[in-house]
């Protein structure tokens, strides 16, 4: 028998690749942080001698979820300005609070709180976009989570940087300091067309190409954004970005709610990805993204939570279900976005958007052992005829029992193994008191 580090035996395994498959009574063999094999349980018992065996008799095991767009540190602003549209939410509440309070400590603490929430909900990888990425790196590293850290650029000064040159200088210094970390990578993340000028966009795109990094930007989130963009530049924002030759396989369009048919074709033709954030889009009354049309055109669509300040959860179970239901009701097609497609959006499509699909996102041998187990044992989850559909439409993050990142357990029996709840409560209370908001 071959000695290995870990053998996970489950009632069901959904490997994502091959697509649409749900394996019954299977096991996942893990060694040295990587998936070695996915095979029937009986065969696994004969072939492998595991240092640790985890038996999950009522569970479905999947790849860890990939949150394709998040502002993790904004977890400290959860619920602080509800029931406002995007620009009022930003201008009247979020930007003033950020001006007064955002710092290295704010980002480290908020990101740590977010990482705890995400891991408990089966999210093993986060594509983050926020200031002080060095602080976010510290928090994700401490939590044992995988993350792509956005090197944010905006044309106006913030607590993080005084001007465009300062943003680039500080971001590159952070990347240099953390380069080579096994779980942390970087993206170029200019905030949005309405906050970033053409010269800055071109500079960011050039750097992304030079360093072979994803280009991560909000675009076409609201009708007002598009109208204001046309007034200011004579072009719709996505057309402006295309004219600057920014579109390509490394381009990740966040939200992409309001798209004309030609824009959908352009995203497909250039091999772009979209980070669909359905809950945030609903909460801010931004609209419903044309996800079925994007997928039909061949656009890679992933799922993101956006920040907890505009969602207010970092919960990909919610995003999968909301994405599916919105697609069905907006197209009047009950077959739109079936369960396996939604699971792929929450895993492999997110990995592909970040250039990580050769490393994570499915349970192919050789990939990193980023795994989530969802228990379907509770009475409210019975009976179960289709485990994939159950994960989307019945289960929630409260049913996540185990999470592994690089084969290392981060959650077991529904409890975090690294973080202490009392420490997290203290962090949240500290910042709530600083804001002066009860």
The structural domains of the chain, ordered by start, are: 2-63+368-416 (2.30.40.10), 65-353 (3.20.20.140)
pLDDT along the chain (438 residues), means of 10: 97 98 98 98 97 98 98 94 84 86 95 97 98 98 97 96 98 97 98 97 97 98 97 97 98 98 98 98 96 98 96 97 98 98 99 98 98 97 97 98 98 89 83 76
Q: What is residue 437's predicted lDDT score, i.e. its pLDDT? A: 61
Burial of 265 (0-12, 13-18, 19+ CB in 10 A): middle
The tokens 């697509």 sit on which residue? 19
Q: What is residue 81's predicted lDDT score, i.e. its pLDDT? A: 83
Helix (H, G, I), strand (E, B) or coil at 191: coil
Q: How many residues does the chain have?
A: 438
Q: What is residue 421's predicted lDDT score, i.e. its pLDDT? A: 75
Q: Which two tokens stand for residue 185?
A: 């990578």
Give this prediction's pTM. Answer: 0.97
What pLDDT digit, counting tens, does each position of 48-82 carry? 999 999 999 999 999 999 999 999 999 999 988 88
Q: What is residue 438's predicted lDDT score, i.e. its pLDDT? A: 53
Q: What is residue 94's predicted lDDT score, i.e. its pLDDT? A: 85
Helix (H, G, I), strand (E, B) or coil at 11: strand
The tokens 């295309």 sit on which residue? 242
């Amino acid at each position: 028998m071959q000695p290995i580090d870990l053998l996970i035996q489950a009632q069901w395994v959904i490997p994502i690749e091959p697509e649409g498959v749900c394996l019954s009574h299977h096991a996942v063999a893990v060694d040295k942080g990587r998936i070695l094999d996915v095979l029937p349980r009986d065969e696994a018992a004969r072939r492998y001698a595991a240092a640790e065996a985890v038996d999950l008799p009522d569970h479905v095991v999947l790849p860890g979820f990939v949150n394709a767009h998040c502002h993790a540190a904004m977890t400290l602003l959860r619920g602080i300005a509800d029931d406002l549209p995007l620009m009022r939410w930003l201008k009247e509440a979020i930007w003033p609070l950020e001006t007064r309070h955002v710092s290295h400590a704010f980002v480290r603490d908020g990101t740590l709180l977010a990482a705890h929430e995400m891991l408990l909900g089966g999210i093993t990888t986060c594509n983050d976009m926020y200031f002080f990425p060095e602080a976010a790196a510290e928090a994700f590293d401490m939590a044992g989570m995988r993350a792509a850290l956005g090197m944010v650029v905006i044309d106006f000064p913030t607590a993080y940087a005084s001007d465009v040159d300062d943003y680039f200088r500080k971001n590159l210094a952070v990347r240099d300091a953390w380069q080579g970390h096994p779980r942390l990578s970087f993206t170029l993340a200019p905030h949005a067309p309405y906050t970033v000028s053409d010269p800055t966009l071109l500079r960011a795109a050039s750097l992304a190409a030079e360093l072979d990094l994803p280009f991560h930007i909000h675009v076409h989130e609201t009708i007002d954004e598009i109208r204001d963009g046309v007034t200011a530049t004579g072009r719709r924002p996505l057309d402006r970005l295309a004219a600057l030759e920014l579109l390509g396989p490394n381009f990740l369009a966040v939200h992409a709610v309001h798209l004309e048919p030609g824009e959908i074709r352009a995203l497909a033709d250039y091999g772009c990805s979209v980070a669909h954030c359905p809950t945030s889009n609903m909460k801010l009354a931004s609209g419903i993204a044309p996800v079925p049309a994007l997928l039909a055109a061949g656009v890679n669509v992933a799922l993101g939570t956006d920040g907890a300040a505009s969602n207010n959860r970092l919960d990909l179970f919610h995003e999968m279900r909301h994405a599916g239901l919105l697609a069905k009701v907006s197209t009047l097609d009950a077959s739109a976005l079936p369960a396996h497609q939604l699971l792929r959006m929450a895993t492999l499509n997110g990995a592909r958007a970040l250039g990580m699909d050769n490393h994570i996102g499915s349970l192919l041998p050789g990939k990193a052992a980023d795994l989530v187990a969802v228990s379907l044992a509770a009475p409210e989850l019975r009976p179960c005829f289709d485990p994939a559909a159950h994960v989307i439409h019945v289960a929630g993050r409260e049913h996540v029992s185990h999470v592994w990142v690089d084969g290392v357990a981060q959650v077991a029996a529904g409890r975090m193994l690294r973080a202490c709840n009392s420490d997290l409560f203290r962090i949240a209370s500290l910042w709530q008191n600083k804001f002066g908001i009860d």
